[in-house]
Structure 1
């Protein structure tokens, strides 16, 4: 389902907006840097879903652009048959951040979806915005143009929050192959959570705050789903699930508004709370991201705070746009990676049986998987919530306080190097520093997990039933 939250700059202690969230998927997750790339004229890329997806479709191609932008993202290997690798978004070199969040379409629209649906899927749209958009509004216009020209492939409907330092947009894409989408602008006074993504009433025609295609309202009238005499067009009621804001969304939006009303307003640790609280975050959260929406003096200095699993029991650590590589421990491993159970780190069957060689490099596989280590720690904490969950949660929040204190000097050091034309040294500094933070956090997690397992075992608290233990959640 996934979850995202946007906080406008007027609510921020630092004077800038925030975008945070996580993805809800069962498979492996890994952090990666996608470099800026140049593509030959006439290049094509493959998009959409396959005939084996939960809502089947046909893969198709669309034109590639001449140049794609550098970005940070988390990828994963499975969701409802959507072809891997999949992404819910991240941050690009121009300061555009994206979060993908499920948003179901009404039953009749899902039933209209043809078995040969074509066009970009939700992951394609998130990736294409990161690769091509210089502003949030450009991201909205890109999604609109792609759907109009190529269609949209879905598993029941979806949404995106697209944000830059100046504004954000909620964009909802609907099932049914009718090329229906709608977007709402979020500004400096906005606090908006999506789970699922929602938009309520819209005007009769597009304006500065609401965008949608020409047939958006007339299609609902033709279907008998909307009568203009009944009042404003309520997108959620007419095209969505009709539930409005879910309980968790209402709770966290109100919690953030209360925090914003304090003299100190909202800081990074309040944003971390919004995606790390056990009321909202558990095993389904495959990772965590927090993006401060700023325009630094150099694009290499853009920051994304990253957690390898749900941050309820994991730390968020700064990673930089200017990094040249990600530690192998935070990259792809075979643990929970779809298809790896049928592959070997051995080529003897490759000629006879085709896809039998692992897609993970042998050198990477021998490193500890940060994703697997942190999942182990999460489920130890969930089996003894008092006191383990609270102790581990508090440990990581203290670590983040230390990272917040160190971050300005690291950024300033890299900035000085960049201003002196020492681009290579600046990127090396950012890579070494973030890698050190990530590796130290991983070592902490391994030690915490070993100690936690002994405590859980000695207390006779290992849960050997098939009913997982977890905190009570609002969702």
Structure 2
């Protein structure tokens, strides 16, 4: 059994029996898998995924709309429907586009209860309307720009047959517009992992092939006092919008460490960071596994 396959099996066993509401996603690029496939694992330890739902591909009239409902089924609004939507099974569509998530919550004051789009609305709509990971990012970010973002901080794992992306998003606070987000492509030959804590640190500002972000992701943080551009430190998304605490390091980063140390024993990753040892460095956003 190859290393990555073993990790997927271990992840399903270990994390599926973990604490309630603990979600973990492992992203594997083509160059990191033995058969050249892009893969995402998803363990969602909640009670809202009891079965796989199938939605067939459909054509829609110009007057058709998509209903936005909350967890209890209450209608919250409607958005314009597109002429054609793709078939979806669970969290994958007919074009092998897959989207999963883990919630990192982040700064409480940035929750916007007036937005329309919860993360599960965005995932579902993107799967019905997009063919690739990049298209899905465009769909999801356009939705929050148009209708507002209602969820707390989320990490989305988005993959198609060729690429794997990680997008992290948080709201602008009550009554605010859009969302603060960054999306990065996992380099081919590498794996990444997210586990209920924002993971994106410093990111390239002028590399749209590998990183895209909301126009105000840095300026908003400066305005709110989350980041001081005169500090001499680069802007890091995770530090601005989901500051590390001993609790979230132990709860979330321990899972990242557990996966990475199995994928690349040669790195000898220290457990100090998830144990909240002073001065310990955060784990990298992605690593190259010792074996495929």
> Normalised by the shorter chain, which TM-score bucket?
0.7 to 0.9
**Deviations, residues 241-271 of structure 1 (Å, cap 9, x unaligned):** 4257611112212312349424xx2xxxxxx
Q: Quickly say closer, same or farther: Cα 1:232–1:58, change in 2 above 3 A.
A: farther
C-alpha distance in structure 1 between counterparts of 2:77 and 2:207, whole Å: 30
Determine the structure 1 residue equivalent to 2:25: 4
Aligned: 1:131 with 2:128: yes
Q: Quickly say closer, same or farther: Cα 1:167–1:48, change in 2 above 3 A.
A: same
Question: Within 5 Å, which residues of 2 pair with 1:146-157?
Answer: 146-154=143-151, 156-157=152-153
1:221 shift after superposition: 0.7
C-alpha distance in structure 2 between counterparts of 1:27 and 1:182, whole Å: 27
Aligned with 2:47 (options 26, 44, 48): 26
Aligned: 1:246 with 2:262: no
Q: Quickly say closer, same or farther: Cα 1:178–1:247, change in 2 above 3 A.
A: farther
Determine the structure 2 residue equivalent to 1:93: 94
How many residue pairs were aligned? Answer: 238
Q: Which is richer in helix? A: 1
1:9 shift after superposition: 1.6
Give me the TM-score of the superposition, normalised by structure 2. Answer: 0.74
SS at match of 2:53: strand
**Which consecutive unaligned segments of at least 5 residues does structure 2 have?**
1-21, 266-287
**Deviations, residues 123-153 of structure 1 (Å, cap 9, x unaligned):** 1111112111110000111111111111111
Question: Within 5 Å, which residues of 2 pair with 1:65-464?
Answer: 65-73=82-90, 90-110=91-111, 113=112, 115=113, 117-154=114-151, 156-175=152-171, 176=173, 177-179=176-178, 180-196=180-196, 197-204=198-205, 207-230=208-231, 231-242=233-244, 246-258=253-265, 260-262=289-291, 265=292
Are 1:59 and 1:118, in contact at CA under 8 Å, matched by a contact in 2?
Answer: no
Moved over 6 A (4+): none
Are 1:99 and 1:162, in contact at CA under 8 Å, matched by a contact in 2?
Answer: yes
Q: Quickly say closer, same or farther: Cα 1:174–1:66, change in 2 above 3 A.
A: same
Are 1:200 and 1:236, in contact at CA under 8 Å, matched by a contact in 2?
Answer: yes
Q: Which is richer in strand? A: 2
1:159 shift after superposition: 2.1
Cα RMSD between the aligned structures?
2.4
**Deviations, residues 365-408 of structure 1 (Å, cap 9, x unaligned):** xxxxxxxxxxxxxxxxxxxxxxxxxxxxxxxxxxxxxxxxxxxx
C-alpha distance in structure 1 between counterparts of 2:138 and 2:149, whole Å: 15
SS at match of 2:52: strand
C-alpha distance in structure 1 between counterparts of 2:206 and 2:109, whole Å: 24
